[in-house]
Chain A
Amino acid sequence: MQNSDVITHDVIVVGAGLAGTWAAMTAAENGVKDVAVLSKIHPLRSHSGAAQGGIAAVLNNVRPVAGTGPRGPLEQIPPGDDPVDSFDLHMFDTIKGSDWLGDQDAIEIMVKDAPDVVIQYEHMGCVFSRTKDGRINQRRFGGHSAPRANFSADRTGHVLLHTIHEQALFHNVKFYSEWYVMDLIIEDNITRGVVAINVLTGDIKMLRAKAVMFGTGGYGQAFKVTSNAYANTGDGVALAYNAGAPLMDMEFVQFHPTGLYRHGFLMTEACRGEGGYLINKLGERFMKKYAPDKMELAPRDLVSRSEQIEINEGRGVMEDGQGIYLDMRHLGREKIMSRLPEVRDLAIAFAHVDPIEDPVPIQPTAHYSMGGIPTTVDGEVLANANGDLITGFYAAGEVSCVSVHGANRLGTNSLLEASVFGRRAGRAIAEFVKGGAKLHPVPGDPAEKNRKMVQQLFDNDGTELVEDIVQDLKTTMTNKVGIFRDEEGLKSALDEIHNLQERFKNIRVMDKSKRFNTNLSMTLEASHLLTFSELIAAGALNRQESRGAHSRTDFPKRDDESWLKHTMAHKDEDGRPKFSYKGVTIYWDRFPPQERKY
């Protein structure tokens, strides 16, 4: 290998959202001098910044006003008064939200680390909304039984992302902006580094490191209607899988109840947290049929299913009947302007509707990937269901599966998870590096192998356009691997995905230039979509039960006897997935499985 082609760092983090940047900043803060972050887009463009509603933590800053019921106003808790929230309550809500598939040891750690991580954000300069006496303000969120969503108006992710990025810069983390990682090199279960393309120049380089950490985000782009950014193509899960790492619980994909109609991006759950209603064509608050107690603030899987039933039974709104109304008019101008200004702006810009005056059309939208790369609570990646580790490989945030969200994530637990486990991974990486971790030799010439792969793509000159394959995949995933699933649909989805994988061999890349070739990166991204979509569909076909976001109409009940376990997908020698299963960590004395009702 030519030395000039190789870049070396102690630590390479891939992805510059909250999880990756926390890991990088924390490793640097803990004494690792040479930390680099690679991101295919500028770090401040990362999708963590799109999160709106809040970050969960038991701070006990506010409580419901006595006697006003579950949707009444909130007030700050006077000094000395009893708290309304507790770690146990946050744990229970998260476990119930996960439909008991979340690992309770990991959930306990997340919940107990939460107040400290939120306070650290505040001390680093994050601008939170405030109570009258100047504490961080909190709001209600779906599936949470106390107000614990700490927020900054409706741009919480944005302020968190900017804050942590600034701190990483302060700690001299080196950022490679617009470097697209295309290969992860693991040999003999030891991580060697990554291969990445410098998007600006088109040069492909080997980057060696003692530790590689993935914070690359989720995989919502496999679906037709999604809240996710163009960038959320599941690169991290696909690269890890191709490098031999297992993926866990990939069949669990969250559909958020309030994507803007046709566009799919979010009208934050805070719209309902602040008191907004969901209304069908008949003007009914239909959630009373599905979750009489929690109503609109039931967890996302349940609300999305309820909306889809209303739509399927002909009670949807808009010309095609595929919409539902999100009604915020009764919140009043002042509350909408102060608490939901970004959402109002989006509704006006994209739907030509001012939520102060009119209900906003919404629909369920693919939002969050519960599944991902399995890790320990310190971000170390598991090699198999036995709990063996891959040396030097770490992951946190949406790309990972600790698992704290199990079969369904609660709102505001994702910013929390990315922060808590990004920080923990950063500490673990610092210990690993300072404990004498080595730079291991790289077998062969992976950079050259990837250069040849790109040249082959350019030379291929087939007849298929990448976008046609992607659109067909999205249609299949939405129609057959979406909110409701059954055996027939999943089998035909798998056939279609295999067919699309074949068609992909006949693609034509239109732009063959070296400089800033986003046509090439979109092609590589499409190959990742095809890789992990197969695992979602196959995992969903295997799992003959309904749990959280995975709803089988042919197996409508949860089946703890057979399926209280995590799915692990490995790539076998023929390139096809093979499955094994891993037990769920449950505190049987404290949070045993119960029926899940809201």
Chain B
Amino acid sequence: MSNNDIQRTVTVRIQRFNPDVDKKPHMQDYQVKMWPGMTILDALHEIKTHQDGSVTYRRSCRHGICGSCAMHINGRNTLACKTPIINEVQKNDTVTIGPLPYLPVIKDMVVDRTSFWEQYLRVKPWLLPPNDIPEKEFRMSQEEVDALHDAEACIMCGACYSSCAVIGLNKKYLGPHALLKAFLRVLDPRDTAPAERLEIVSQADGVARCHTIFNCIDACPKGLNPTQAIETLRKLAQKRQKYEEARRERQKHLNEPIPS
């Protein structure tokens, strides 16, 4: 790519909506001169700080760990901070940006995540550890840690949640993010309540609602696989008493070295 190409001016087409003054959303175009390495978030910052201060979005860390800036870019949910603008410029030299779908819009790209956080709370995201707390750490194998990877790396950005067709129809569905959190606790050898958790996720608005459409996997900016976690929960839910017994057995050895 030549330098000229990188520094050309492109149109950033933003879906604008302030419910206090607008009857319905409308599109507004802004011209932005690109620079090498510019991200979608950089472009939004340029627009907000020099052209139109009312363009509104959430952001903080700038490098894909805080989860603030998930939005809809050229028809796809992703993090604005991790998306180079050059990759998104379409044939007509335009990038189209809007809010995450399926959620009420507060203002422009800022969506109301109330249902998202309610579902997170419904799965009781905190660990429920054994009563017998050792002086030192509980012993876990690296394999047990690795099994939690996807759930532990989740940044709760909501890209999966708002790409899920089931959420589009039914806000009572727990959703991929909350199920991933439930998975984290269910698989953690330190947690004492896997059966109770599996009971929660197998209720009407839990794992059974997942249609395995895999939108969540496509949307996840961290490359995680919520569908697989949901599948695992579905299987474990069918034998939850047995699973709980196995957990109790495992917890008898939580204070002992992992055998080599």
Contact A515 B107 (CB under 8 A): yes
Residues of B within 8 A of A342 (CB): 65
Surface stretch bound by A, among B135-143, B205-213, B234-242: B135-143
Chain A residues positioned under 8 Å from B136 (CB to CB): 119, 135
Interface mask (B44-82 → A, CB under 8 Å = 1, otherwise 0) = 000011101110111111111111100000000000001
Given contacts A467-B50, A513-B21, A519-B53, are A134 and B66 in contact (CB under 8 A)?
Answer: no
Q: Interface range on chain A: under 10, 10 to 19, 20 to 34, or 35 or more?
A: 35 or more
Q: In the complex, are the beta carbons of A518 and B56 less than 8 A apart?
A: yes
A441 close to chain B: CB less than 8 A: no
Q: Which residues of A contact B67 (CB under 8 A)?
A: 44-45
Q: Which residues of A contact B62 (CB under 8 A)?
A: 229-230, 263, 265
A464, chain B: closest CB distance, angstroms = 12
Would you call A346 and B63 a contact (CB within 8 A)?
Answer: yes
User: With a CB–CB cut-off of 8 A, which chain B residues contact A166?
Assistant: 125-127
Among listed B23-31, B147-155, B167-175, interface-contacting one: B147-155
Complex partner residue of A229 from B66, B82, B133, B257, CB under 8 angstroms:
B66
Q: For B144, list chain A residues within 8 Å (CB).
A: 130
B54 and A45: CB pair below 8 A?
no
Residue of B nearest to A118 (CB): B137
Distance in angstroms between the alpha carbons of A230 and B57 in the assembled complex: 13
Residue in contact with B61 in the complex, picked from A45, A128, A170, CB distance below 8 Å:
A45
Specify the chain B residue showing the minimal Cβ separation from A519.
B53
Kindly list chain B residues whose C-beta atoms are within 8 Å of the C-beta of A170. 126
Q: Chain A residues with Cβ under 8 A from B50's Cβ?
A: 465, 467
Interface check A510, CB cutoff 8 A: yes
- The verdict on B246 contacting chain A, using a C-beta distance below 8 Å, is no
List of B residues within 8 angstroms of A41 by Cβ: 58, 60, 66, 68
Set B113, B145, B257: member contacting A127, Cβ < 8 A = B145
Q: Are A133 and B61 in contact (CB under 8 A)?
A: no
Q: Is the CB of B54 within 8 A of A229?
A: no
Q: Which residue on A lies nearest to B136, using beta carbons?
A: A119
Which of B63, B140, B155 counts the most chain A CB atoms within 10 A? B63
Supposing A45-B67, A229-B62 touch, asked if A135 and B18 sit within 8 A by C-beta, the answer is no
A163 to B145, CA, bound (A): 15
Q: In the bound complex, do residue A265 and residue B61 qualify as a contact, i.e. CB atoms below 8 Å apart?
A: yes
Tell yes or no: A42 within 8 A of B by CB. yes
- Residues of B with C-beta under 8 A to A351: 37
Inter-subunit contact B125/A169 (CB<8 Å): yes
Partner of A47, one of B59, B61, B126, B257: B61
- B83 CB to nearest A CB, Å: 9
Stretch at the interface among A3-11, A152-160, A412-420, A547-555: A152-160
The closest CB in chain A to the CB of B133 belongs to A123
What residues on B are CB-neighbors of A515 within 8 Å?
18-20, 106-107
- Set of chain A residues within 8 Å of B61, measured between Cβ atoms: 45, 47, 49-50, 229-230, 265
Shortest C-beta distance, A17 to chain B (Å), equals 11
A129 at the interface (CB under 8 A from B): yes
> How far is B37's CA from A35's CA once the two chains are assembled, in angstroms?
43
Check B54 against A511 for contact (C-beta < 8 Å): yes
Q: Which of B191-238 contact A (CB under 8 A)?
A: 191, 223
Residues in chain B near residue A136, CB distance under 8 A = 137
Chain B nearest CB from A10 CB (Å) reads 22
Q: Closest CB of chain B to A187's CB: distance in Å?
A: 33
A133 with B258: CB separation less than 8 A: yes
Residue A122 is within 8 A (CB to CB) of chain B in the complex: yes
Q: In the complex, what residues of B have CB within 8 A of residue A231's CB? A: 60
Instruction: State whether B110 touches A516 (Cβ < 8 A).
Output: yes
**B257 touches which one: A49, A133, A263, A345 (CB < 8 A)?**
A133
Complex CA gap A345/B142 in Å reads: 22
CA gap between A522 and B50 in the complex, in Å:
13
A466 an interface residue at 8 Å Cβ cutoff? Answer: yes
CB distance from B119 to the nearest CB of A (A): 14
Report yes or no: A45 in contact with B60, Cβ–Cβ below 8 A: yes
**Is B152 a contact of A45 with CB atoms below 8 Å?**
no
Q: Mark A78-90, 1 if CB is under 8 A from B, else 0.
A: 0100000000000
**Does A350 reach chain B (CB closer than 8 Å)?**
yes
Determine whether the beta carbon of B126 is less than 8 Å from that of A125.
yes
- Pair A350/B129 contact, Cβ less than 8 Å: no
| Most chain B C-beta atoms within 10 Å of own C-beta, residue among A79, A127, A170 | A127
Contacting residues of chain A (76-116) with chain B, CB-CB under 8 angstroms: 79
Contact partner of A516 (CB less than 8 A), chosen from B56, B138, B145, is: B56
Interface residues as binary, A506-543 with B (CB distance below 8 Å gives 1, 0 otherwise): 00011101111111001000000000000000000000
A571 located at the interface, meaning its Cβ lies under 8 Å from any Cβ of chain B in the complex: no
B156 at the interface (CB under 8 A from A): yes
Q: Decide: B126 and A509 in contact? CB cutoff 8 A.
A: no
Chain A residues within an 8 Å CB radius of B64: 345-346, 349
Task: Give Cα distance in the complex from A47 to B66, angstroms.
Answer: 7
B2 at the interface (CB under 8 A from A): no
| Contact indicator per residue, chain B 3-29, by CB within 8 Å of chain A (1) or not (0) | 000000000000000111100000000
CA distance A78 to B206 in the complex (A): 45
Chain A residues positioned under 8 Å from B156 (CB to CB): 44
Task: Select which of A159, A467, A519 is within 8 A of B54 by beta carbon.
Answer: A519
B139 pairs with A133, CB closer than 8 A: yes
Q: A65 within 8 Å of B by Cβ?
A: no
Q: Which residue of A lies closest to B20 (CB)?
A: A515
Flag if A265 contacts B63 (CB, 8 Å): yes
B173 CB to nearest chain A CB (Å): 21
Residues of A at under 8 Å CB distance from B?
41-42, 44-47, 49-50, 79, 119, 122-125, 127-130, 132-137, 152, 155, 158-159, 163, 166-167, 169-170, 200, 229-231, 262-263, 265, 342, 345-346, 349-351, 465-467, 509-511, 513-519, 522
- Besides A265-B63, A518-B56, 14 new A-B residue pairs in contact (Cβ under 8 A), listed by A number: A42-B68, A45-B60, A122-B137, A135-B137, A158-B65, A158-B153, A163-B127, A166-B125, A169-B126, A350-B84, A511-B53, A516-B106, A516-B107, A522-B49
Q: List the 4 closest pairs (A to B, CB-CB), nearest first.
A: A510-B53, A125-B127, A134-B139, A467-B49
Q: Which residues of B contact A (CB under 8 A)?
A: 18-21, 37, 39, 48-50, 52-54, 56-68, 82, 84, 106-107, 110, 113, 121, 125-127, 129, 133, 135-142, 144-145, 148, 152-153, 155-156, 184-185, 188, 190-191, 223, 257-258, 260
> What are 22 inter-chain pairs, A to B, with CB distance below 8 A?
A41-B66, A41-B68, A42-B68, A44-B156, A45-B66, A119-B136, A123-B138, A127-B152, A132-B142, A133-B139, A159-B152, A166-B125, A169-B121, A169-B125, A200-B106, A229-B66, A262-B37, A265-B61, A349-B82, A465-B49, A510-B54, A517-B56
